[in-house]
């Protein structure tokens, strides 16, 4: 499992560990990187790492603290949940960010730790833990988005390997990825039971990637075409026909990350500039130092309360996930709530900035103003990717509320 051990350390041990973490951060985290974000997490093409960023990434990878709860034997930190919390607290105090991330950490790694063979874990997990390999996801297809189980990308059995033909879409970061974890059909006579989980090297002959440009101006998503792509059966995770079960588990890990539990949303809520500060700068303050617009002030307060309640709920859900050996269907609730809050934040910021919030490029706009406009446009996707809000509502109704379809 990718979760931290349940047994927490005694206070004395935690105090000693906190001292160790602080000393290690002083020795390894460059002060010039304080407060910066991970350049590898850019929505557009990943930015090249500076020498200091590369050194920081190498240090975290060697220590295993980029994936602190993963087992040590695969390159993780092997920390228990209390130690993970201490590490997170001390990194936040130092202004340090985690340079090890991406889909390998968010989704594939935790899933492989559950379903992969020992050989597959030894081959793939250490490289993910060191941030050496970039992964992408081959799930959705032009005719299989919300109804993912209707996917038609076919893997034909050729003895010790499959020959894969088909198309995937919305392949996030596909143009920069080294490898792809994908759902393919190995049996056309069965729907869910005919799906298999395979790993595909993106440099294999027959793999073609075409970026899709979004209204935000970025191109993080792609169309991916597979034409007679040879995939060794050693790259199959689990048994043939077990792909739907494995794929659903991976989606729980994805939704857990997208909801804010350690990914972009979490960083935004924790470190993004407070909306109230932006409002004071653009709208002004009254005689008492409050945001001048009383209605806007009330809506911002409600928004801030939602964020705080959401972050506290995430912490509780994370603790419950560790107790239950991984994320549950409750991640669908978190994903929907987190998506709504992200979109509300962008809407508020654009309203606050007025004309200054409508810039696309050129002079007359600050870098932050342009970035927030594009973030607002990109944010329209958060209620779609990772499973649309409608799909999450179905999961909530069936898996949490126990509601069944009646003919």
Query: Could you list the active site residues?
Result: 254
- Give the list of residues 6+ apart from residue 386 with CB closer than 8 angstroms, or none: 251, 254, 255, 258, 335
177: number of Cβ within 10 Å: 26
Residues 325/352, Cβ–Cβ less than 8 Å: no
DSSP state of 40: G
Q: How far is it, in rounded angstroms, from Cα 26 to Cα 47?
A: 25
268: number of Cβ within 10 Å: 18
DSSP state of 378: H
Q: How far is it, in rounded angstroms, from Cα 103 to Cα 264?
A: 12
Q: What count of residues does the chain have?
A: 407
Burial 204-225 (b: 16+ CB within 10 A, else e): eeebebebeebebebebbbbbb
End-to-end CA distance of the chain: 39
What is each CA distance from 32 to 36, 39, 87, 134, in whole angstroms?
Answer: 9, 14, 20, 26
Q: CA 65: distance to chain centroid?
A: 17
Residues 178/197, Cβ–Cβ less than 8 Å: no
């Amino acid at each position: 499992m990718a979760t931290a051990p349940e047994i927490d350390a005694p206070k004395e041990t935690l105090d000693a560990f906190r001292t160790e973490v602080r000393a290690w951060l002083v020795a390894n985290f460059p002060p010039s990187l304080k407060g910066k974000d991970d350049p590898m997490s850019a929505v557009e093409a990943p930015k090249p790492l500076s020498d200091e960023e590369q050194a920081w990434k190498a240090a975290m990878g060697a220590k295993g603290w980029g994936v602190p709860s993963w087992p040590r034997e695969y390159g993780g930190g092997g920390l228990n949940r209390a130690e993970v919390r201490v590490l997170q607290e001390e990194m936040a105090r130092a202004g340090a960010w985690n340079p090890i991330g991406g889909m390998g950490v968010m989704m594939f790694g935790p899933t492989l730790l559950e379903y992969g063979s020992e050989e597959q874990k030894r081959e793939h997990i250490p490289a993910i833990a060191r941030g050496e390999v970039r992964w992408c996801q081959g799930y959705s297809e032009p005719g299989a988005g919300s109804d993912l189980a209707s996917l038609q990308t076919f893997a034909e059995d050729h003895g010790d390997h499959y020959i894969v033909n088909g198309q995937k879409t919305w392949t996030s970061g596909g143009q920069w990825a080294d490898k792809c974890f994908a759902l393919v059909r190995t049996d056309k006579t069965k729907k869910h039971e005919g799906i298999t989980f395979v790993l595909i090297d993106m440099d294999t002959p027959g793999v073609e990637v075409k970026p899709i440009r979004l209204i935000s101006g970025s191109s993080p998503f792609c169309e991916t075409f597979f034409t007679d792509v040879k995939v060794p059966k050693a790259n199959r995770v689990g048994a043939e026909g077990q792909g739907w079960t494995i794929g659903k588990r991976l989606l729980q890990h994805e939704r857990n990350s997208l909801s804010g539990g350690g990914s972009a949303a979490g960083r935004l809520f924790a470190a993004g500039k407070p909306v109230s500060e932006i409002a004071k700068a653009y709208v002004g303050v009254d005689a008492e130092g409050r945001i001048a617009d009383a209605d806007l002030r009330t809506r911002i307060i409600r928004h801030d309360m939602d964020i705080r309640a959401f972050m506290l709920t995430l912490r509780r859900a994370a603790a419950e996930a560790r107790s239950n050996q991984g994320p549950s269907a409750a991640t669908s609730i978190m994903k929907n709530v987190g998506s709504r809050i992200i979109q509300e934040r962008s809407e508020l910021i654009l309203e606050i900035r007025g004309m200054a919030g409508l810039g696309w490029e050129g002079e007359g706009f600050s870098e932050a103003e342009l970035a927030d406009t594009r973030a607002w446009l990109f944010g329209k996707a958060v209620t779609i990717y990772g499973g649309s809000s409608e799909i999450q509502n179905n999961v909530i109704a069936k898996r949490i509320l126990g509601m069944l379809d009646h003919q």
